[in-house]
Amino acid sequence: MSTENALLTILAEKIKNDSLVLPTLPEIAIRVREAADDPDINLQAMSEVIAHDPALSARMLKIANSAYLGRTVKVESLHQAVTRIGLRHIKNIATALAMEQLFISHNETVKQFLDKIWLLTVEVSATAIALMKLYTARNKHTPLSLDTITLAAMVHNIGVLPILTEAERHPEVFANPDFLDGAIARLAGRIGGSIMRAWEFSPEFITVVERWNDRRYETDNVSYIDFIRIAAVHVGVMPVNETLDSFYGKYVEKGIIPDEDYLEEDEFLEQYQTARTIFLD
């Protein structure tokens, strides 16, 4: 049995037996989510929770002062940032910004793959966020929200992490990037769904993680998966068996984008650059 097939067999068996080691949610994200679920939490108390993580605090200030929220008056303190973002949105946004802490490895080979996947995750997220921002501006009564797409996009490929952790025990596998890409495409959705359940995320996140890369799954109504799929195709991480005009045309019909060339237009590119700077220094 080849090393690649051996790894696939190991992964499949561990998924079946529910014995695959899953990543844990960053501690600061757990604390923020627990605080956000407290009906008695206030803005000051939430600020104090976030303040325990300097990196997250800095990113919260950055996002509060960005065009992501459409504000022009600069905030100077974490409390002001939390106030601007609001308790209703802080849970998802803070969790999304904490995701970077999971894309770390002391193994140089694994680190290279994680760095690549992190950057692709940022690209998909920035694209999906920009599309959502523009969509909600045109559709004021949509039930979809910017904070949810932000987190959904950041975790959409989270299932890759246990695959790379397991592959670390088989270093020769990394000499075949195409195999790893294939393993990720085949298994990341199932593994990601297990991670979302372990983290006690809501069903909408589980569905995104499990089904975004499954073209057999379609929704009649506009959904978060639509935005992530458009982004994934645009970034080049999701192949299509049709022309790009045909692919994008489906989302024109669905009312998500105005035309097939929208992702090349200045209006979109401006929002994309704004979203991208949230995650990259």
Q: Is 75 part of any domain?
A: no
Q: Is 44 part of any domain?
A: no
**Other residues' Cβ atoms within 10 Å of the Cβ of residue 167:** 26
Output the CA torsion sign for 239, 243, 246, 251. Answer: positive
In the block, tokens 């910017």 appear at 146
User: In the predicted model, what is the mean pLDDT of residues 225-239?
Assistant: 96
Q: Is 41 part of any domain?
A: no
Residue whose C-alpha is closest to residue 58's, from 78, 40, 39, 75: 78
13 versus 92: the higher-pLDDT residue is 92
Residues in the chain: 281
CA atoms of 27 and 180, how far apart (whole Å): 29
* Domain enclosing residue 198, as ranges: 3-22+104-279
What is the number of domains present in the chain? Answer: 1
User: In the predicted model, what is the mean pLDDT of residues 167-194?
Assistant: 85
Q: Does residue 119 come out as left (phi exceeding 0), alpha (psi in the -120 to 50 range) or beta?
A: alpha
- Residue 101's Cβ-count burial label (10 Å; 0-12, 13-18, 19+) is middle
CA atoms of 17 and 101, how far apart (whole Å): 28
Confidence of residue 1 (pLDDT cuts 50, 70, 90): very low
To 10 degrees, the CA torsion angle through 145, 147, 148, 151?
A: 160
CATH for 272: 1.10.3210.10
Q: Is 216 part of any domain?
A: yes
Q: Is 58 part of any domain?
A: no
Q: Is 71 part of any domain?
A: no
In the block, tokens 């499990």 appear at 210
pTM: 0.91
Q: Is 141 part of any domain?
A: yes
Q: Is 211 part of any domain?
A: yes
17 versus 224: the higher-pLDDT residue is 224
pLDDT digits (tens, 9 = 90+) for 118-131: 999 999 999 999 99
pLDDT digits (tens, 9 = 90+) for 71-88: 667 888 999 999 989 888
Residue whose C-alpha is closest to residue 131's, from 149, 105, 152, 106: 149
Confidence of residue 91 (pLDDT cuts 50, 70, 90): very high
Residue whose C-alpha is closest to residue 275's, from 136, 122, 142: 122
pLDDT at 171 over 50: yes
